C-alpha cells in the first residue's frame, strides 16, 4: 500500500498535487469542486453588483468580502442563497446581515492593520471574519450561548486563529482588552452603552444601528474626541434588537 501511494504521488505534477490538495480541502467542508466554483462565481457577482454597483469603493473592504466565504457561515440548506443581498436566519431569532450592510459598516469603520476592533453580536461570525481580513486584533461578544458555541467551532475549523470570541452581554464590552480603536454593534440599540464609550480610545470610532429597536434605525458613526462625541448619520437600516441589559 505504501509503495502504491508513493508511486501515485511521485507521478503527480506540482499543479496536479495542488489540485488534489484543493479537492481534499473542499471535501473537509462538505463541498464538491463544482459547488465551490458556483459559490465563487456567485461571490464575484455579489461584489460587482451589490457592492461595487452601489457605494462600496474601499479596495481593502472589497478584497475582504471576496476572501470570506459567506456560504460557510449559514446552514447547508441556505447556502444557495448565501450571496443574495438580504439577511438570512441563523437560529435563535437572529440573522446574518446582508452583504451590502456588512461591507458598508466595515467601510465606514475604516479599520487599519494593527487596530483593535470590538464587535458586539458575533452571530454567525461573518462580520468578525471580514474584519479579521483587515486586522489581526478582532474581539467579538455574543449573548446567545448556542450561537457563540457554533461560531467558535466554525472559526476553529476555518482557521481564524487570531480572532477572540466570548460568550457574554456586549453592553458591558470587554474591559480586559480595552481600549479599542473601533467598535461595531451589529444589533439595534436605542442608546449607546456607556461602558462601550468608556472602552473606546480617544479618536476611536463606534458604529451602530441606532434608534427604535422594534421598527427601523439609522446607521450612526460616533467618533470620540477628548472633549465630546462627534455624530454622523448614514442610511436607514433594520436590525434585530440588542438583548440583555439594553432591553432592561
E strand or H helix at 181, and its extent?
strand 180-185
Contact 132, 122 (CB under 8 A): no
Can you give the length of the chain in residues? 248
Residues 165, 108: Cα–Cα separation, whole Å = 23
Residue that the C-alpha cell 427601523 belongs to = 216
Known catalytic residue at 112: no
Q: Which three cell numbers stand for residue 235?
A: 442610511
Tell me which of 59, 84, 97, 140 is the catalytic residue: 97
Residues 31, 9: Cα–Cα separation, whole Å = 23
Alpha helices in the chain (DSSP H): 2-10, 14-28, 33-46, 59-67, 99-109, 126-132, 145-158, 194-198
Helix, strand, coil percent content, the chain, rounded in steps of 5:
45, 25, 30
Q: What number of H helices and E strands is found in the chain?
A: 8, 9
Whether the CA torsion 166, 168, 171, 172 is positive or negative: it is: negative
Burial of 164 (0-12, 13-18, 19+ CB in 10 A): middle
Q: Tell me the catalytic residues.
A: 97
Amino acid at each position: 500500500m505504501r509503495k502504491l501511494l508513493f508511486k501515485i504521488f511521485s507521478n503527480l505534477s506540482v499543479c496536479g498535487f495542488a489540485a488534489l490538495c484543493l479537492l481534499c480541502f473542499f471535501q473537509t467542508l462538505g463541498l464538491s469542486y463544482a459547488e465551490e466554483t458556483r459559490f465563487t462565481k456567485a461571490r464575484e457577482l455579489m461584489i460587482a453588483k451589490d457592492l461595487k454597483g452601489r457605494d462600496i469603493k474601499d479596495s481593502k473592504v472589497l478584497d475582504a468580502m471576496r476572501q470570506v466565504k459567506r456560504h460557510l457561515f449559514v446552514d447547508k440548506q441556505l447556502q444557495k442563497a448565501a450571496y443574495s443581498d438580504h439577511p438570512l436566519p441563523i437560529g435563535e431569532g437572529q440573522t446574518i446581515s446582508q452583504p451590502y450592510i456588512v461591507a458598508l459598516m466595515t467601510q465606514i469603520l475604516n479599520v487599519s492593520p494593527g487596530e483593535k476592533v470590538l464587535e458586539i453580536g458575533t452571530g454567525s461570525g461573518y462580520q468578525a471574519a471580514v474584519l479579521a481580513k483587515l486586522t489581526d486584533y478582532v474581539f467579538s461578544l455574543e449573548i446567545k450561548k448556542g450561537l457563540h458555541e457554533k461560531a467558535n467551532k466554525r472559526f476553529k475549523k476555518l482557521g481564524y486563529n487570531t480572532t477572540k470570541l466570548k460568550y457574554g452581554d456586549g453592553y458591558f464590552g470587554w474591559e480586559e482588552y480595552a481600549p479599542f480603536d473601533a467598535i461595531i454593534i451589529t444589533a439595534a440599540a436605542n442608546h449607546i452603552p456607556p461602558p462601550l464609550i468608556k472602552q473606546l480610545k480617544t479618536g476611536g470610532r463606534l458604529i451602530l444601528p441606532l434608534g427604535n429597536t422594534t421598527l427601523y434605525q439609522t446607521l450612526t458613526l460616533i467618533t470620540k474626541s477628548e472633549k465630546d462625541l462627534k455624530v454622523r448619520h448614514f442610511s436607514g437600516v433594520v436590525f434585530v434588537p440588542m438583548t440583555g441589559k439594553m432591553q432592561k
